[in-house]
């Protein structure tokens, strides 16, 4: 009898499971957060070019990418998929062309699944984020791809399951303008960016305007940032410019931002040590000059303006210098170390303004 039961169970286990049918909901019908400019003609792009001029082709390509955008929702589903219509993509991999899912567990955001979009089927590309989940309602957030331009992004759950907009998952709005470091270069998942880590660590929403290799305090960016309404500003503006550009542009940039946002904290960070300077003397000299120039200019700025701050303790390297992805950008762990190095000074500044993580 026992053997018969075992045989029956084995037969049942071997039987094909009926595939679940999924229903999809556009992310804009849920809750979208993470954008410095929330109202754009395409909700999955980060800039409305009709409002501002002077953009270069490089600017537009980078600002079209969905890095930093998050969709928040609640569901009782046991599986979650994403599907999207891709306008263009310049890179492969989960971080660059995929979605990254977190689910709240015991009051904290816990990683749940990530996947790159597959080859288009009809007009949509699909990816499975998680399956076989236990019953019960889950609070979820999904980070959008770092290097992909989307015209549609939809959350899918099995037929009959609930799917509804989530609460705004994080408090406040901190506008971030920065380089490839804040765009997410080197990350294997789109939730592992510097703003992603800082947001989950502090509970404050760092809205990302990271533009790889293109953050040099140009007039077109300053013109747009003048209109941003935010509780605080966070700037990674010393990673891309040359020492000459740092010296020539920083004070005008700060003067304008302070005048247009009186009483709002402006937090600048020192660029990180890039591992490609370890043995390359020319690179080492250039990076040292960039750091020294930023330090000298910001020493003047923080004395001139009470709401301007400069954090020097900006570090993405482990003790053994093994946290680089490519010599320039940190690995995922490097970004985590960087966020940890910024956490205490950031929180100290934000609390002065009633922004309490």
CA 235 to centroid of chain Cα atoms: 14
Question: How do the pLDDT tens digits run along the chain, 357 residues long?
Answer: 444 444 343 433 333 334 789 999 999 999 999 999 999 999 999 999 999 999 999 999 999 999 999 999 999 999 999 999 999 987 789 999 999 999 999 999 999 999 999 989 889 999 999 999 999 999 999 999 999 999 999 999 999 999 999 999 999 999 999 999 999 999 999 999 999 999 999 999 999 999 999 999 999 999 999 999 999 999 999 999 999 999 999 999 999 999 999 999 999 999 999 999 999 999 999 999 999 999 999 999 999 999 999 999 889 988 888 999 999 999 999 999 999 999 999 999 999 999 988
Distance, CA of 182 to CA of 171 (rounded, Å)? 20
3-class SS letters over 168-192: CCCEEEEEEEECHHHHCCCCCCHHH
Distance, CA of 195 to CA of 70 (rounded, Å)? 12
Distance, CA of 209 to CA of 117 (rounded, Å)? 23
Q: Within a 10 A sphere around the Cβ of 45, how many other Cβ atoms?
A: 21
Distance, CA of 68 to CA of 209 (rounded, Å)? 8
Distance, CA of 164 to CA of 30 (rounded, Å)? 6
> Beta strands 204-210 and 171-178: pairing type?
parallel
3-state secondary structure of 3: helix
> Beta strands 80-89 and 98-105: pairing type?
unpaired
> Beta strands 70-75 and 31-33: pairing type?
antiparallel
Q: Does the model's pTM come out above 0.85? A: yes
What crossing angle do the helices spanning 243-260 and 281-304 adopt, rounded to 10°?
Answer: 30
CA 150 to centroid of chain Cα atoms: 16
> Beta strands 266-269 and 308-311: pairing type?
parallel
- Taking CA atoms, 326 is separated from 187, 256, 329, in Å, by 11, 35, 6
- Taking CA atoms, 148 is separated from 37, 69, 234, in Å, by 18, 12, 24
pLDDT at 5: 42
Record the tokens describing residue 158, joined without a space. Answer: 């099995």
pLDDT at 320: 87
Q: Within a 10 A sphere around the Cβ of 329, how many other Cβ atoms?
A: 23
State the number of CA atoms in the 13 A half-sphere of 153 facing the CB: 27
pLDDT at 122: 86
Contact 64, 158 (CB under 8 A): no
- Order across the sheet with 22-26: list the strands: 22-26, 148-158, 80-89, 125-130
């Amino acid at each position: 009898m026992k053997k018969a039961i075992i045989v029956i169970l084995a037969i049942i286990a071997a039987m094909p499971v009926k595939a679940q049918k999924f229903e999809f909901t556009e992310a804009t019908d849920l809750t979208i957060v993470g954008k410095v400019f929330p109202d754009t003609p395409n909700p999955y792009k980060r800039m409305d070019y009709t409002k501002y001029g002077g953009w270069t082709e490089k600017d537009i390509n980078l600002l079209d990418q969905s890095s930093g955008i998050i969709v928040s929702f609640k569901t009782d589903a046991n599986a979650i998929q994403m599907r999207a219509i891709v306008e263009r993509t310049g890179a492969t991999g989960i971080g660059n062309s995929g979605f990254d899912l977190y689910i709240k567990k015991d009051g904290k955001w816990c990683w749940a699944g990530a996947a790159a979009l597959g080859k288009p089927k009809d007009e949509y590309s699909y990816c499975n984020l998680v399956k076989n989940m236990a019953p019960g309602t889950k609070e979820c957030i999904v980070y959008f791809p770092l290097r992909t331009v989307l015209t549609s992004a939809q959350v899918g759950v099995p037929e009959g399951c609930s799917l509804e907009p989530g609460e705004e998952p994080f408090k406040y709005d901190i506008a971030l303008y920065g380089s490839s470091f804040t765009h997410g270069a080197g990350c294997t998942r789109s939730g592992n960016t510097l703003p992603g880590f800082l947001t989950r660590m502090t509970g404050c929403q760092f809205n990302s305007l990271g533009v790889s290799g293109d953050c040099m305090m140009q007039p077109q960016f300053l013109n747009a940032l003048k209109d941003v309404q935010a509780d605080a500003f966070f700037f990674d503006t010393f990673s891309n410019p040359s020492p000459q550009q740092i010296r020539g542009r920083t004070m005008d940039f700060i003067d304008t931002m302070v005048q247009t946002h009186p009483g709002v904290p402006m937090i600048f960070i020192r660029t990180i040590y890039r591992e490609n300077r370890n043995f390359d003397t020319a690179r080492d000299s250039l990076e040292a000059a960039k750091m020294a120039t930023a330090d000298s200019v910001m020493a003047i700025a923080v004395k001139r303006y009470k709401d301007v701050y400069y954090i020097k303790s900006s570090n993405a390297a482990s003790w053994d210098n093994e946290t680089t992805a490519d010599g320039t950008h940190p690995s995922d762990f490097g970004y985590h170390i960087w966020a940890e190095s910024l956490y205490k000074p950031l929180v100290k500044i934000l609390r002065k303004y009633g922004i309490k993580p």
